[in-house]
Amino acid sequence: MANLPGGKPQDRQSGLRYPTNGKTIYHRPLNRTKTAELSQASFAYLFSEMVSYAQRRVTGIQDLEKRLNTQGHPLGLKLLDLLLIREPPRSQLRPLNIIALLHLIKINLWTHLFGRQADRLEKSSNPDTPDEYMIVDNEPLVNAYISVPREMSQLNCAAYVAGIIEGVCDGAGFPARVTAHSVGGKEEGEMWPGKTVFLVKFEGEVLERESLIVGKG
Amino acid sequence: MSYYFAIIGTQDNPLFEYDFGTSKQGGDGQPRFSDQARHLNQFVVHSSLDIVEELQWTRGEMYLKVVDKFFNNYISCFATAGNVKFLLLHQPTNPAAGAGAAGAAGTPALASSARSSTSIGANPTSPQTEEAVRSFFAEVYDSYVKAVMNPFYRAGAEIGSPVFRARVAAAGRKYL
């Protein structure tokens, strides 16, 4: 690695600057922060700023949720690669079907982001919508310090997490639309007032491919 | 032995390309492609994408080994989690073996002499070569993920970092 940076003339020409110790992101290990945790308070502060940033210049709740979703999307794309490279080499498998993908989200993604697994994974029981899956979180971390005003009761700021999920699905080649819905306070949701369902609706082509793959196997 | 390495994005757009020669057995690390072959390489690599797209849904491994062969050009593929493809075209230098391979598929191992059969590259489908290419891809993938994790990197953008290029070059020198 003789020609790594260190203030060589050609580096200066390209206008790039390196930290004085010569270390770039390429020098840092990908695995080091596996168990490191971040302060929830600082996250909550940052997230509230993100929500109020997204709230500027929006016309309605749907628009706001869409913006939050867009903020999360690139994160999902990046996390997909990161999560798989952190797996032990033997199980570094790309998800090939919907179930494998949703398991990756429920277990690996959730553990990475929130320190625990998602609470439930369900397939839509409605025969008209076989393309819909639900990931249930009883108490989303992002909503911990958010109280939604009454006139915006439709809003669920976990749309940001929905964006992350959407990014993971899109990145893995399973284009989908993911939305967050609050279901707390209804029937069985009594115990968890903040209960949120992430509705994952896959595009038709995903199901088509799924049936082909299963047919082959 | 010359190599052409390309990273192809999800929209079949090239994100990065680099050509280099072998550094094993006294190689100087310089590619030995003719001027015409340089243009041809891009075609050959892109034409193998169709095969990759079929293969990648049948196997969950990232390393798909040699997926395509065009005369004396062998193409190894590595599909990342985000469906970005790493493609490595390798071209054994031995012209006699090349002619044999072009004539009848699967004969390069016979054509290459006992001396060169142990070298990676002389026989692109041997387990040694497969392992060397796997190590190369693994190291590049590590750097690639770091490049992608950069908060200023937009998915599907070209990777222009000179540090990344140096890392790929180092991996090439180390394994191929």
Per residue in B122-159, pLDDT (tens digit) is 677 788 888 899 999 999 999 999 999 888 888 888 99
- Mean pLDDT estimate for chain B: 81
The C-alpha atoms of residue A166 and residue A163 are separated, in whole angstroms, by 5
Contacts of A92 in chain B (CB under 8 A): 61-62
Q: Tell me which residue in B58, B80, B143 faces A26 most closely, judged by beta carbons.
A: B143
Task: Kindly provide the ipTM of the predicted complex, given to two decimals.
Answer: 0.81
pLDDT of residue A128: 86
pLDDT tens for residues B63-77?
888 888 888 888 999
This prediction has a pTM of 0.83
For chain A, residues with pLDDT lower than 70 are 1-16, 32-35, 185-190, 215-217
Neighbours of A83 (CB within 10 A): 19
pLDDT of residue A45: 92
Backbone torsions φ then ψ of A136, nearest 5 degrees: -105, 130
pLDDT of residue B7: 94
The C-alpha atoms of residue B130 and residue B156 are separated, in whole angstroms, by 28
pLDDT of residue B28: 80
Helix (H) or strand (E) holding B173: helix B162-175
Q: Per-residue pLDDT averaged across B151-168, rounded?
A: 89
pLDDT of residue A106: 93
- From A85, which residue of chain B is nearest by alpha-carbon distance? B142
The C-alpha atoms of residue B5 and residue B139 are separated, in whole angstroms, by 13
pLDDT of residue A14: 59
Task: Check whether B114 has a pLDDT greater than 50.
Answer: no
Q: Per-residue pLDDT averaged across B87-93, rounded?
A: 86
Estimate the share of chain A in helix, then strand, then coil, as percent rounded to the nearest 5.
Answer: 50, 10, 40
Q: Copy the structure tokens of residue A8.
A: 């060589």
Contacts of B62 in chain A (CB under 8 A): 84, 92-94
Q: Is residue A78 within 8 angstroms of chain B, CB to CB?
A: yes
Q: Copy the structure tokens of residue A210.
A: 């799924």
Are the Cβ atoms of B61 and A84 closer than 8 angstroms?
Answer: no
Residue B168, Cα to own-chain centre: how many angstroms? Answer: 12
Task: Check whether B113 has a pLDDT greater than 50.
Answer: no
Q: Per-residue pLDDT averaged across B42-62, rounded?
A: 89
Pick among B11, B12, B59, B80 to test the A interface (most A CBs inside 10 A): B80
Task: Check whether B105 has a pLDDT greater than 50.
Answer: no
Cβ contacts of A51-54, under 8 Å, gap ≥ 24: A51/A146, A51/A157
pLDDT of residue B96: 45
pLDDT of residue B110: 42
Strand ranges across the sheet with A176-182: A120-123, A132-137, A196-202, A176-182
Are the Cβ atoms of A209 and B57 closer than 8 angstroms?
Answer: yes
pLDDT of residue B72: 85
pLDDT of residue A66: 92
- A102 by Cβ neighbours in 10 Å (0-12 / 13-18 / 19+) ranks as buried
